[in-house]
Each structure stands twice: as C-alpha cells, then as structure tokens.
Structure 1
Amino acid sequence: MRDADVRCEWNSIDIFILSPKNRWAFIIENKVHSRQHKGQLLKYRERIIELFRVQDASDEGNLEISIGGIFLTLHKEIAEDAEYTSIRYDKICIFLKRYLDQEAYLLSPEVMTFLTHYLHILDELSGMSKERTEMENLARKLYRDHKKVLDFIIEYGAGSDFQLAVHRVLGDNVKRGDLVKVDNAQLMYWGLAKNFVSFLPSNWFDALDRTNRVWPGCENWWAGSPVIVWVEVWSVDDSARGHLKLVAEVGPISDYQLRLSFIEALKSAAHDANMDRIYFQSNATEEGRLYSKFLRENTIAVFDVHDTNEMEKKFRQLLMEFEPEIKLIADIIPQLLDYGKLKE
C-alpha cells in the first residue's frame, strides 16, 4: 500500500484512495445534512472502472480490479449501490473513542488534538454530546418553570440583533416619515423588519418633492416615490458570518417613458461621473419591467451577525462609502421636470 494516493473531491468523490500497484480503489461518500442522489454511488464506481480501463489500454493489460466503498451518513440511510457499506457517524464516534482510549500512545500530540476536536464535532452532529444533552435538559426545565415569561418575551420582546443595531443608528423612537441624521447623511425613515430597514436619503426626498410630479404606479409602493433604498442583512450557511447590503431600486412607474427617462438619466450621469457602482442590468429599460436595482459592489462582510456593535459600525460604513452616489442621484432627479404629470 505504499503507492496509495488519497485525494479529496476528485471527480466529485469526497474521499478517493487509489493503489494502482494493487489495482485497488476505495471510495468514501460523505453525507451530513443531505442525501444521496439517484445513481450517484454507482456513477462513482463506473468512473473508477473507466480510469483503470484507460490505464489498461496504455499498459496493454487487463487485470481484475477491486473497488470498495463506504457510504458515511449522519442519518439512517442505506446506500443505493450494494457495493457500498453504510456507516453512520454515531458508529464513527464509538470507534474513535475506543481508539483514542487504547491507542493514544501511538499518536503525536497534533494528531491527538485534531482527533479530539473532530470527535467533539461528531458528538454534536450525531446527538451523542453529553454536554449538549445536559443543556437541552436544562433548557426544557427552564421553559417549564418560566413558560409564561419566556412566551411573553418571544412574542413581544424578541428583536433581532439587526433591529437593535438599526435602533442604535436611527434612534429608539423613530417613526415613519421622520428625518434622522446619521453621521454625514440625513435619511427619511420608512420601515423596519427583522432583516431590513428602508429609507430615502433626504436629499432624494427633497429633490423628488421639488419636481412636483406624481409617479403613476408607485402610489402604494414604499413611500410612494419612484425609488427606494434599504439595508438588508443575511447569514452565510446558517453561521454567525454574514453580510450587510445597501440596495437602491427604481420602482413600478407605470408611465414607460417616465421610467425610461429616470433610468437613462441615472445611467448617463453615472457614466459621465465615472461612478461604475451605479449599474443597471441590460433588461432594466424593457417595457413592462417593474423593479430595477442599480447598485453593485454594495455588500460588506459581517464577522458576526449577532454582534450589534459590529453591525452598527458596518451600517454606518456602507452609508458613508456610498455618499458620492447618493449625492449624484439627488442632483439628477430635477432633470425629470420635463416628464410625467404635475401634482394637482
């Protein structure tokens, strides 16, 4: 086995072990929170057979090959291909614990540390963690003893960490239509949900009001203006990491020429000012199109979406970084005086 080669993600195979000298191959297919695809395991074996067939053609040989496989799964699932042995992670936990108890003296400190951490992760995944079980039992007891209080908090007092960050930026008692100063920017607050907050930069609002126009189709859209801005948060892979994103969108102006002029004016001004972060998709000006976002490079990484201080800081940073684009758009809006209908 000295010629054995271990590969990860070779031809989509999670772990592949190959010993050409012994004409032996081994496949480990790993499933944690997903299940096998139809024909997946058989397809992997066929790839290995084809690999040896190509090798035999070049070496003018044709010897028997041996292919083994393990279908490693978190849940109780049988491998579709009978050539694979199904093993659950809880069995790996049992084996590793016995191995570490009996053979630890053979391992270097680095390997011992790695396997100990790995075993802890498997315990959590497979539900065999004693610490997790104790925490769950404690949580159940707390809920039984304080059910009314906890239900009240969940229904009335549960605000997301993002919402807390927004209140730090905009104030605790801000109401729809209020003007709020945030560092160098002034915003007209519109609404707050669990994962996003909407507003208009006040210079946009003032410019739109000075045009003295109605915006047909936008009467019931956000603040009734033809454009809106919001900041949203989302997590990455259900982890603490995530992003904040500043979004600006032209809305459902039913007058096609008015909507077209709005978008073309923004595109032209952004081009002249060399502001390539204002960018519309090619289909934004198609007739019948209702919503068109137009900012890019507009996300900022958040290390921990549960860290209110970090999200407050990143929220302010996004607004500050896009100050030039916000000002440019405010300057462009008055150019729409020749379009649309005057307010009555």
Structure 2
Amino acid sequence: MTELTRDSQSDSQKTPAIPETEPIHMTLEEQRAILEKFIIHNPDLEALEAKISQFNIFEAVGMVRQEIKHSNFIQFLLNPSEKHRLGDLFLKKLLIAILADAEKAPIDSLDIARSDFSDAEIRREWKNIDLLIYSPINSFVCVIENKVDAVESPNQLRTYEDVVAKEFRNCKKMFVFLTREGSAASRPRWISFAYGAIAEIIETVCNERRSSLTDDIYIAIRHYVDLVRRHIMRESDIAELCRKIYKQHRQAIDLIYEHRPDMRSDVEDYIKQLIQEFSQAENIDLDSIDKRYIRVAPKEWDGMAFQKTCSGWTGSDRIFLFEFWNEPQNLCVHLVIGPGRMEIKQAIYQELNTLNISGLKSKCKIDESKWNHIGIVPILDISDYEDGDLESLQEKIRAFWLKYIQGDMKVIREAIANCGFLRSTGKALNEN
C-alpha cells in the first residue's frame, strides 16, 4: 500500500456502498401488518422458496461464482475420454454454437460437425490459460478464457494469442471469451460467448442422451445447469420472480433489510472478544475502535519512551499499533506507525526489517507526518465470506490469532523491547 494520510487513505480504499433504502416511518402495528402480508399467503414468495430451497451439489461445495471450479466442470464435459458417456458430443455442439455467434468465423461449422474429436486434449491452466482444447488429428486448437466476475488483465488475451501462435504453429485457431452475459473482449480475434448459452447446450445434450447417462451423471449435469441459471444468468425466472416480489412488497423487504444481520459487526464483536480473552495472559490492550479499524498494543511498550509520542491519532497517544482492518469481505492485520518523530519511526521499521516475519514490506518510505503501513497480514478474503458462515469465520480468525500472538507478534514485541535506541534515545527525543 502507498503511504497515505489517514483521510486520503479512507477515501481511496472505500468499498462500494450498498444503496440505502428510503427511511421507514411506521408504527409497530403498521410494520407488523406489512410483514404479515409479505410472509403469510404469498404464493410468489412460496414459489421463490421452492426454487431456491432445492438442494444443489455445486452450491453445497461453494462453487457459485468460483471460476476455477466452473472451468473444472466444463473441462469434464468437454473431455471425450471422461466417464460422462457423451463422447465428443458436447465439445462439438459447443464449438458449433460459438461459431454461430461469431461475426467472422475462423473455421467452418460443417468441418467441426463432420470431424472426429475423440482425440481432443482438454488442458486446464496450461500457460495460465483457463481452458485449451487441442485435437492433433484435426490440427485444431481452441482457447477459452473464463470470466465469471473478473475482468481482463492488461495484455492478457494478447499474451495467450502469442503463446498459442508459438506452440501450435500449423493448427487452425479459435479464441473464446466466456462471460456471464457475452461481454465483448478487448481483442478482435476473440469470440464472445455467454454462460446462458453454455447452460442451454448442456441441457440439450443432457436431454438428448438421457437414456445413455447414468443417474449420477444426469443429476450432476442438471444441478450445474440450475446453478448457472440461479446465480450466473441475470435474466432467469428466479430473477423475474424476485423483481415481482420486490415491486409488490417493497416496504416489507426494506424493513427486513434494515434489520438484517451484519457480518462485519459480528466479526468486529468476535475480534474484541478475542482480544479481551487474551488481554491478561498475553499482556495486550484494546487500544481503540474506529469504523473499520480495531487497534491492539502490547502493554509493555507503554513503559518505553518511544510509544506515547503520537498525539492526534488515538486517545492513548501510542505511535506503533497492530491494526485489524475489518472490511465487508476482507480482514487483515496491519502494522501501523502513526505520525511522529522521524527518528523513532525509522528505528521501529529498521528493527523490524531485520526480522523474518509475515507481510513486512521490504521497502517502505517512512514519512514523519503520515501513517505508515509497514506490514500487512491477510486473515480472511472474499472466498471465506462466500463459502462460510459466521462460525467458520470465527474459527479461522481464532486459529490465526493463536498462531500470530505466539509467532510474529511475539517476535516483534521482543525486538522492540530489546531495541537500545527505543529504550534510551527515544526518551531523550521525547524530553526534547
């Protein structure tokens, strides 16, 4: 992270805010009435619950928007050698459907239809390419870049073109940009294709070959199609039903949203609980809480002259703190040196730079008037929030905390406590 002032830091790292609903000014009796209307005898809500309550194996394993897992299942269906009993049928139907969407098809669809692709290799993450189809018999190669939510990286598609041109010089080449809605790629050679079309092709193949598919394969394919339509496609029957329900019961839904559980607040409460639990045994202090920040400090540093030299940050005047950054879908610990004497700040950073600790920046510009984040250690990321509940998040936070206080934090505390400059020279600077 670039060194910033606290105000500019907050502005630059804000997560997109959820639009606030209109203020709800109703009596308790009115609130109860609209909730009863929403919940009781609501056929649309019952229909929605019936659709989304159906068990889906891919939802159960947290696959909803994870590109890697989607690519893995598509690879399974594309591979003629897999045990799905589809042979090369899905592969050929997919290629033909993609070519039908191309403004200028690089290959004739009839050639695909009459060719044998039983020799096709389906490579995953080869040269960082999501999916690569290679048929030696047909001298054919197809690259599929899979983007469920992510966007292109700079020069990503051009790099793949260059790799394929070098490795498959004499092959017919096809490039596919697979996204939720068939978004256009940045390179003209890439054919845009949507997940909705993928779902339709899979469903068609599944129905055509139902008699030859085993029950477990048929169910798995049906579950995948349902997953795509529930979570990837915007214009699904579920989306239409949701819009209808919201239009008819907006007040009730807004009222429920106003009183929704707040995962971020729950995480904050658990971190405070952990700090208090270990406060006495580990001699640590909950310094302050401010919006997304939860700050912790070792108590023994308070007896060293360097520590209480930062006015205008927290009420404790501490200059060096461990700071939990509690974002809506991200949690990490920052090592932060607040504004203060350059000599003290440099001494802290130089002392820590000799240690083998996680997340410490090897090069960090120290500024006297700014907050310097000299280290960042991740705890939770977006996948934890997508795949887990509060209990699983708490378990991961606790496991991290137990390891950290006996590991990196312990090393840092000992190094600071034994630093001669911070014990003696820091006092002289403070007195001056």
TM bucket (normalised to shorter chain) is 0.5 to 0.7
Give the Å deviation of 1:4.
Answer: 2.9
Alignment correspondent of 2:312? 220
Q: Which residue identity lines up with residue 229 of structure 1 in the other structure?
A: F
Alignment correspondent of 2:281? 184
Which residue of 356, 361, 385 corresponds with 1:276? Answer: 356
Which residue of 122, 125, 145 corresponds with 2:232? Answer: 125
Aligned 8 A contact 1:280 1:292 in 2: no
State the Cα RMSD in Å.
Answer: 4.4
Paired residue secondary structure (1:276): coil
Paired residue secondary structure (2:390): coil
Paired residue secondary structure (2:134): strand
Give the Å deviation of 1:125.
Answer: 0.4
Q: Pairwise mapping of residues 106-121 of structure 1 onto structure 2 (< 5 A)?
A: 106-121=212-227
Aligned 8 A contact 1:143 1:150 in 2: no
Question: Does 1:306 find its partner at 2:399?
Answer: no
Greater displacement, 134-143 / 159-168? 134-143
Give the Å deviation of 1:74.
Answer: 1.6
Give the Å deviation of 1:19.
Answer: 2.7
Question: Does 1:249 find its partner at 2:336?
Answer: yes
Q: Which residue identity lines up with residue 140 of structure 2 in the other structure?
A: W
Paired residue secondary structure (1:119): helix
Question: Does 1:200 find its partner at 2:297?
Answer: yes
Q: Equivalents in 1 of 2:153, 2:412: separation in Å?
A: 47
Structure number with larger C-alpha Rg: 1
Q: Equivalents in 1 of 2:334, 2:282: separation in Å?
A: 16
Alignment correspondent of 1:58? none
Give the Å deviation of 1:109.
Answer: 4.4
Of Structure 1 and Structure 2, the greater helix share is in: 2
Alignment correspondent of 2:207? 101
Question: Does 1:14 find its partner at 2:130?
Answer: yes
Alignment correspondent of 2:405? 319
Question: Does 1:168 find its partner at 2:273?
Answer: yes
Give the Å deviation of 1:147.
Answer: 3.8
Aligned 8 A contact 1:26 1:67 in 2: yes
Give the Å deviation of 1:184.
Answer: 0.9
Q: Equivalents in 2 of 1:96, 1:212: separation in Å?
A: 66
Q: Equivalents in 2 of 1:279, 1:30: separation in Å?
A: 31
The size of the alignment, in residue pairs, is 304
Aligned 8 A contact 1:263 1:285 in 2: no
Aligned 8 A contact 1:163 1:193 in 2: no
Aligned 8 A contact 1:33 1:74 in 2: yes
Taking structure 2 as the reference length, the TM-score comes to: 0.54
Paired residue secondary structure (2:224): helix
Of Structure 1 and Structure 2, the greater strand share is in: 1
Question: Does 1:340 find its partner at 2:429?
Answer: yes
Query: For residues 185 and 91 of structure 1, do their structure 2 counterparts lie closer, same or farther at Cα, with a shift above 3 Å needed?
Result: same
Structure 1: 5+ residue stretches without partners:
56-64, 172-179
Could you give the per-residue CA deviations for residues 103-156 of structure 1, whole angstroms, max 9, x where no partner exists? 1222244533442332233111013554565566556655422645744x47x9
Report percent identity of matched pairs.
16
Q: Equivalents in 1 of 2:218, 2:343: separation in Å?
A: 70
Could you give the per-residue CA deviations for residues 233-276 of structure 1, whole angstroms, max 9, x where no partner exists? 468xx6xxx6x54433333323x344444555x45xx96xxx63
Alignment correspondent of 2:28? none
Aligned 8 A contact 1:3 1:20 in 2: yes
Paired residue secondary structure (1:115): helix
Give the Å deviation of 1:198.
Answer: 0.8
Give the Å deviation of 1:197.
Answer: 0.5
Give the Å deviation of 1:28.
Answer: 2.9
Aligned 8 A contact 2:142 2:174 in 1: yes
